[in-house]
Amino acid sequence: MKKNKVVLWIAVVAVVVVVAAVAVWGKQYYENRYVGSDYYTMIPLDYDMTPEMMYDMAGEEAGLGRYFVLTAYNDQGEAKTVEFKVMGDDSAQYPQPGTYLRVNASNQLVVGWNIIDESSVPEKALDKIKGNS
């Protein structure tokens, strides 16, 4: 009977350790993928806005859109390359050249973006953007 209790406690402890490890890993995965920081950028004046065919993960056509690869800066002026796509065949719905963007980017992807006024860009980021245009 005593041996069964020991085995039961070992099993309970093993389950608790596995659950805790999965919880820690899950939290780290979520934060690396979906919790972002704000970065600021401007669509270069010479950026090609022509819609092109976009493809899904399986290589199938997903429709027309535009893929953006831009250098963005946080409020301390630290650079990060951000990549995102905008779907649609009308380039007027894309952020236009000369437009400032706030891009929320995690370690792995762009979580979201929105168009902002130049006055909303932090000074250090704006200095970097203007220095690189």
**Residue 1: per-residue pLDDT:** 62
**Domain ranges (residues) in the chain:** 1-35, 36-132
Please give the pLDDT value at position 104.
Answer: 96
Spatial distance between the Cα atoms of 107 and 16, rounded to a whole number of angstroms: 29
C-alpha pair distances (Å), 120 with each of 2, 7, 110: 69, 62, 19
pTM of this prediction? 0.78
User: For residue 123, what are the contacts with CB-CB under 8 A and spacing of at least 6?
Assistant: none
Secondary element (H or E) of residue 33: helix 2-34
21: which 2 tokens?
């490890």
Cβ atoms of residues 70 and 113 within 8 Å: no
Residue 69 · residue 107 · CB < 8 Å: no
How much of the chain is in helix, strand and coil states, percent to nearest 5? 35, 35, 30
CA distances from 84 to 5, 7, 41, 95, 103 (A): 56, 52, 13, 12, 10
**What's the fold here for domain 36-132?**
OB fold (Dihydrolipoamide Acetyltransferase, E2P) (2.40.50)
Q: Which of 102, 101, 112 is nearest to 35 (CA)?
A: 112
pLDDT confidence of residue 108: 87
Q: Tens place of pLDDT for every residue, the chain, 133 residues?
A: 677 788 888 888 888 888 888 888 887 887 777 788 999 999 999 998 889 999 999 999 999 999 999 999 999 999 999 999 999 887 778 899 999 999 999 988 999 999 999 999 999 999 999 987 5
Whether the Cβ atoms of residue 113 and residue 84 lie closer than 8 Å to each other: yes
